[in-house]
Amino acid sequence: MGRSFMSPRQHEIAREWLRRAKSNLIRSKLSKPDQVYWEDLCFDAQQAAEKALKALFILHAKKFPFTHDIGELISELEAFIADIPAPIREAAILTDYAVATRYPGWGKPVTVEEYRDALKRSEAVVEWVNKLIDTH
């Protein structure tokens, strides 16, 4: 990945997006109260990945698409980030948690296994982005 010129302010804004991503990730790991749905915790996991990926657009002074689609964000990132690892690409599955699973009747209930998988994928994205921002 080549270095592009960025202002210190841009770098700080990218870091703030990453902090927000980490906040969503932490929230997704909190103990699930009985009346909270797995879907809601998966939504936080999806939001963590989405915000982390959008931080990379900011870091590279690029406009990000206004979408919740993780696959689309990854596809757009390929224009300026080479070699996106397979586990990051596979995080595209998190898109399902952005909308469809949050509304009654729009999707199947999420299982604890699916929640754990979403959490693992989201953590991978946030860690990857964190490393990229730290080394940029």
Is 1 inside any structural domain? no
Range of the domain at 73: 8-135
Number of domains in the chain: 1
Q: How does the average pLDDT of the chain come out, rounded?
A: 93
pLDDT value of residue 102: 80
Check pLDDT > 90 for residue 1: no
Query: Stretch 45-64: mean pLDDT, rounded?
Result: 97
Query: Stretch 35-60: mean pLDDT, rounded?
Result: 97
Query: Stretch 79-107: mean pLDDT, rounded?
Result: 92
CATH number for the domain including 45? 1.20.120.330
Is 2 inside any structural domain? no
Is 3 inside any structural domain? no
Is 32 inside any structural domain? yes
Distance of CA 17 to the CA centre of its chain: 10
The dihedral built from the CA positions of residue 60, 25, 120 and 43, taken in this order, carries a sign that is: negative
Q: Could you tell me the maximum CA-CA distance found in the chain, to the nearest angstrom?
A: 49
Total-model pTM = 0.93
pLDDT value of residue 105: 82
Write out the two tokens for 33: 């109260």
Is 88 inside any structural domain? yes
Write out the two tokens for 44: 């936080």
Is 38 inside any structural domain? yes
Give the amino acid at 47.
Q
Is 85 inside any structural domain? yes
Write out the two tokens for 40: 């809601």
Q: Which of 54, 57, 32, 59 has the alpha carbon at shortest distance from 43?
A: 32
Question: Exposed (0-12), middle (13-18) or buried (19+): which is 124, by Cβ within 10 Å?
Answer: middle
- Do the beta carbons of residue 122 and residue 46 sit within 8 Å? yes
Check pLDDT > 90 for residue 111: yes
